[in-house]
Amino acid sequence: MRYKIVFKASARKELRKLPKIAYLTIKNSINDLAIKPRPTGVRKMVGGNNQWRLRVGVYRVIYTIIDNQLIIEIIRVAHRKDAYRN
């Protein structure tokens, strides 16, 4: 089963603003989520409604998994100091 990756507009914008090396590394990690949506090291966020956190160096990818539709929605891509702020 392969999941479909869907980006919120704000997450896509945050990803584009990153330095090129970080962009490529994070993009590869996000693509890997399509095959394995809960890889080793991924944590479910406390208080989040089915939100998961993927660590990629100093950056964090916040996403939700919709198992019954095979969709992963990327909510946020940010530096760790900003990732958990509203």
- What is the residue-level pLDDT of the chain in tens, covering all 86 positions? 899 999 999 999 999 999 999 999 999 999 999 999 999 989 999 887 889 999 999 999 999 999 999 999 999 999 999 888 77
Gap between the Cα atoms of 45 and 37, Å rounded: 14
Cα pseudo-dihedral 80, 26, 65, 7, rounded to 10: 100
AA letter at 60: R
pTM of the model: 0.91
CA distances (Å), origin 4, targets 19, 61, 81, 85, 86: 25, 16, 28, 26, 26
Q: Does domain 4-79 have CATH number 1.10.274.10?
A: no
